[in-house]
């Protein structure tokens, strides 16, 4: 939902101001996060985060055994690289979604 220079989070309903660089947004002048060629955007907070970092793994389980084994190994390796205070979530989906 857009309301003047604010946007409302659909999850927590908090009102948030648009960043200053959005003032000139138009169909011909879009910020990077709205362009299809930018598949990943990294945001840097201007202040320390109030909560620990949160990582969410979303995994399609409709794979062959070798691929599932490879994903398992990669997840185990990536878990060792996370900060000790990180929160981790797992969503798997195949025929059904598990959270």
Alpha-carbon gap, residue 12 to 40, rounded angstroms: 23
* Residue 68 and residue 82 in one domain: yes
- E strand spans, 4-95: 6-8, 15-17, 54-60, 87-93
pTM here is 0.50
Mean pLDDT calculated for residue range 25-45? 79
36 and 62 fall within a common domain: no
Same domain? 36 vs 73: no
The average pLDDT across 17-35 equals 80
Percent of the chain with pLDDT over 90: 31
**53 lies in the same domain as 99:** yes
Q: Are strands 15-17 and 6-8 parallel, antiparallel or unpaired?
A: antiparallel
Query: Do 97 and 55 belong together in one domain?
Result: yes
Residue 99 sits in the same domain as residue 60: yes
What is the residue range of 11's domain? 1-43
3-state secondary structure of 67: helix
Helix H segments across the chain? 65-81
pLDDT for res 1: 44
Please tell me the total count of domains within the chain.
2
How large is the average pLDDT for residues 36-42?
80
Q: Best-predicted range by mean pLDDT among 4-8, 10-14, 16-20, 90-94?
A: 90-94
CB contact set of 10 (below 8 Å; sequence gap of 6+): 1
């Amino acid at each position: 939902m857009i309301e003047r220079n604010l946007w409302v989070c659909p999850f927590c309903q908090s009102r948030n101001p648009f960043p200053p660089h959005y003032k000139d947004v138009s169909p011909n002048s879009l910020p990077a996060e709205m362009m299809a060629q930018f598949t990943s955007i990294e945001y840097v907070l201007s202040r320390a985060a109030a909560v620990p970092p949160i990582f969410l793994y979303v995994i399609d389980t409709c794979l062959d055994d070798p691929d599932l084994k490879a994903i398992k190994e990669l997840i185990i390796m990536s878990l060792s690289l996370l900060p000790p205070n990180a929160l981790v979530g797992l969503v798997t989906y195949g025929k059904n979604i598990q959270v």
